[in-house]
Structure 1
Amino acid sequence: MPRVVIFAPAPMLTVTIEELHGEPDVHLHVGGQGVWQARMLEALGADVAIVCTVTGEAGSVSRHLLEGEGFEVVAIEREGSSPAYIHDRRGGEREPIVEAQGEPISRHALDALYSAMLSEATGADLVILSGPDGDETIEADVYRRLASDMRELEKPVLVDLAGPRLEAALEGGVDVLKVSHEELVADGRVEDGEDEQQLLAAARELVAGGIELVAITRAAEGSIVVGEQGSWRVTAPELEPVDTRGAGDSYTAGLAAVLASGGDHAEAVRTAAAAGAVNATRRGLGTGDAAAVRAIAERVQLEELGRADDRTTDGQKDEQKDEDD
């Protein structure tokens, strides 16, 4: 069983109000990028450790819930307010009632968190660096330091970040990057997120900078993937979505699950696309059924992208060459 360690600085306690038999039905879970990734990883058979901080009463509840899900939780207790939200979904759509990002992680808590990450990473097959919801929760340079130190420990580093955190991680060095086309636009790496040529060029530039695999997700349009083993346009079956939140984190988890177990890029990308598609059919963020993911992965299409005409397959190019001759 592959072991994946996730850096999830500040998990969020989530309270969702549903309706059951005409009465309010309250659900408590833990959310946030790293937690959603962990859920899908566990569903896919990985051994997952979450390295995080917990704050106050909400933090104590979050740790209890995470441990109840079977995760190994390495939690640093800190003072202050905790990230949390309350959403009312009785009308069918999420209506935010309270959304609190929590306080920044203090220097002493950060030192303890960093040490815990170093300790846990030594036994990992792969490390994921994920971000908290709040922009001010943790300084970006932590990701540079972590990425650099994980590589020094010879641990593969997968990041699902954007903005200053992504730039910092790239400076430290990463092996696998998952990013959305909107994030590339916001970061100024492409001008038009709908332009496949620009996305492909951006991915190839990142790979040329030392990354082994870059996956750019485009929601319903599938993903563009470039790596040392090939460049592909990735398309999953168009399943009817219920809630698309968490699909990107499920995609990341699919990549991590396969790569941590020694699988190749093609298998990792198919599993990632299938995990994202399956998660979108469910109300639980980051959740999925392993059998369903495996079945859908067999239907995921990988179309090779060439440099001259990215919408032409290698076979079509050969036919065109024969005609020209």
Structure 2
Amino acid sequence: MSDVTIFAPSPTLTVTVENSGDADEIHIHAGGQGVWQARMLCRLGVSVTMCCTLAGEVGQVIRHLLEDDGVEVVGIDRPGRASAYVQDRRGGEREEIGAEVGDPIARHELDELYGAVIREGMRSRVVILSGPAADDVLPPDTYRRLAADLRASGCTVVVDLAGDRLDAALEGGVDVLKVSDEEMRAHGLDDESPQTIAAAMRSLRSRGAGVVIVTRAEEPLLLLDGEGLAEITPPKLEVADSRGAGDSLTAGVVAGMVRGETPRGAITLGAAAGAMNVTRHGLGTGDAEAIAELRKRVRIAPVAGDDGTSSARVSPDGLASLAETEEER
């Protein structure tokens, strides 16, 4: 039995070519949102079971790579193509050479995967619902059903999703939601002040999220729970690669919760994990002792002037627009 179960429907095989002096280096890893979350959780000493589908020869390689990282794999084998990409980073930036998003998950395999998540989730009690490699891999409503069924079974559900999958999970109900301000802007948020973002965060809470965490690139994180709005500021470190920082943050929050901390306490570990991840080229990685030291330097404080009544100025569509403003209530 693991501490955390991760639903990762379609992990990705990543191949990266890098320059090492006068020779090329080729790095092969399992990747994707759920994988990066799992990798950081393992670095933080948290045991992980990943429920996923594994297609073809790529899926066989992914299974071995995950197990080598210390992840317990509950994989549903299926025919067809898996998600994979090859990138060239010899020039410093990532240049995609080839990519395959993989085939959609067929009904029978999805039924098997769904049952595995419920079973393993009830054993671990904390479940992260992560996104697929592509939009058409599985129906978005799968996230509504999983969120509702897992919580009804006594599990704590954490999500880091976007678009239709986020909407579906909120309908099912989640304990902790992590979302980026970029996602909120894509759905119509036209003012990025903390007060306006806070109103959008309240709309997300009204729609089914117990705790809402918003990442804002170089700006401090925001957290909204029953105590109100808080701003979390980690130390600023030199960025080698920003990818995977949000997934590392989610993993850090979950690691703290597994150890009995509230999300408001665990966010400091998440912020430290995300800050450490950007200093590395390996996604979802970081030294646990360094993260622990960074955590001591994370600042958390209430947002000045937040009275809980600000209204988000958003378009009619998307995340924040689905809730009424305080005046309309």
Using the size of structure 1 for normalisation, the TM-score is 0.91
Shift of the alpha carbon at 1:229? 3.6
Identical positions, percent: 51
For 1:226, the equivalent position in structure 2 comes to 224
Q: Would you say the 8 A contact 1:46–1:257 is kept in 2? A: yes
Moved over 3 A (4+): none
Aligned residue identity for 1:244: S
Q: Which amino acid aligns with 1:299?
A: R
Does the CA-based 8 Å contact 1:54-1:78 persist in structure 2? yes
Q: Is the 8 A contact 2:268 2:295 kept in 1?
A: yes
Deviation by residue 1:289-320 (Cα, 9 ceiling, x = unmatched): 1111111111111120242499xxxxxxxxxx
Distance 1:117 1:71 in 2: 15
Aligned letter for 1:177?
L
In the aligned structure 2, how far is the partner of 1:309 from the partner of 1:81? 48
2:137 counterpart SS class: coil
Shift of residue 54 of structure 1? Answer: 0.5
Listed one character per residue, the Cα deviations across residues 92-112 of structure 1 (whole Å, up to 9, x for unaligned) are 111110121111111111011
Shift of 1:259: 1.1
Deviation, structure 1 residue 280: 0.2
Aligned: 1:258 with 2:256: yes
Partner of 2:16: 16
Contact 2:2 2:49 in 1 (8 A): no
Query: In 2, distance between residues paired with 1:64 and 1:34?
Result: 16
Which residue does the alignment assign to 2:74? 74
Q: Number of residues paired by the alignment?
A: 308
Counterpart-to-counterpart distance in 2, 1:239 and 1:309: 32
Q: Which residue of 2 aligns with 1:108?
A: 108
Q: Say whether 1:29 aligns with 2:43.
A: no
Which whole-Å CA distance do the structure 1 matches of 2:33 and 2:296 have between them?
26
Among 187, 193, 196, the alignment partner of 2:194 is 196
Taking the aligned partners of 2:22 and 2:193, their CA distance within structure 1 comes to 47
Question: Partner of 2:238 in structure 1?
Answer: 240
- Name the CA distance, whole Å, in 1 between partners of 2:3 and 2:200: 31
Kindly provide the amino acid, as one letter, of the partner of residue 200 in structure 2.
A
Give RMSD over aligned pairs: 1.6
AA of the residue aligned to 2:48: V
1:212 and 1:295 map into 2 onto residues whose CA distance is 29
Show structure 2 runs of 5+ residues with no match.
310-329
Counterpart of 1:64 in structure 2 is 64
Residue 47 (structure 2) aligns with: 47
**Is residue 273 of structure 1 aligned with residue 263 of structure 2?**
no
SS at match of 1:278: helix
Secondary structure of the 1:139 match is coil
**How far off its partner does 1:203 sit?**
1.2
Counterpart for residue 89 of structure 2: 89
| Residue pair 1:33, 1:131 contacting (<8 A) in 2 also | yes
CA distance, structure 1, for counterparts of residue 223 and residue 2 of structure 2: 23
**Counterparts of 2:122 and 2:144, CA distance in 1:** 18
Do the aligned residues in 2 keep the contact of 1:224 with 1:233 (CA within 8 Å)?
yes
**Corresponding letter in the other structure for 1:164:** D
What is the alpha-carbon distance in structure 2 between the residues aligned to residue 169 and residue 220 of structure 1?
Answer: 27
- Give structure 1 stretches of 5+ with no counterpart: 311-325
What is the CA-CA distance between 1:214 and the residue it aligns to? Answer: 0.6
* Correspondences of 1:165-184 after superposition (within 5 Å): 165-184=165-184
> For residue 307 of structure 1, what is the aligned residue in structure 2?
306
How far off is 1:212 after superposition?
2.3
Give the letter for the 1:254 counterpart.
G
Amino acid corresponding to residue 129 of structure 2 in structure 1: L
DSSP 3-state at the match of 2:60: helix
Using the size of structure 2 for normalisation, the TM-score is: 0.90
**Whole-Å Cα distance in 1 between the matches of residues 247 and 187 of structure 2?**
19
**CA shift for structure 1 position 18:** 1.1
Q: Which string of whole-angstrom CA distances, capped at 9 and with x for unpartnered residues, describes residues 19-78 of structure 1?
A: 223111111100000000001111111110000001111110000111111110000011
